[in-house]
Amino acid sequence: MNFKLIFDDRYHLHVGYYKNQKDLEAIFLKVKDQNIWCMFLENDFYKLNLSEEYPAIKDFGLLIGIYLIESEDLSVEQGSELFEKFLNDQNIV
């Protein structure tokens, strides 16, 4: 499947996981004109052993999650929870 994501440069969010001697970060980008946020992980840097393959998007990293968020803004707390859930699901933390 080949599709193009267009992001709204006004909206992005950096989140991190800093527990249990881990220092991992991801970035969320908002899809333009939609309440959809995409989570990216720069796994070329982290070299995590992921249980699934994820599409690599040039200049962004691996697309590890797509989320429908009812509000225009994504809070740090909500983004951090989504990232931690991803890490738990992957048995990384």
Tokens 């006004």 sit on residue: 10
Burial call 3-15: b when 16+ CB within 10 Å, e when fewer: eeeebeeeeebeb
* Strand order across the beta sheet in which 7-17 lies: 7-17, 24-31, 36-41, 61-68, 56-57
- Please give the Cα distance from 53 to 93 (Å, whole number): 18
Is residue 81 scored above 70 in pLDDT? yes
Interval 21-77: pLDDT, tens: 999 999 999 999 999 999 999 999 999 999 999 999 999 999 999 999 988 789 999
Residue extents of the structural domains in the chain: 7-89
pLDDT at 70: 86
pTM: 0.92
Confidence category of residue 3, pLDDT binned at 50, 70, 90: low
Confidence band of 5 (pLDDT split at 50, 70, 90):
confident
pLDDT on residue 4: 78
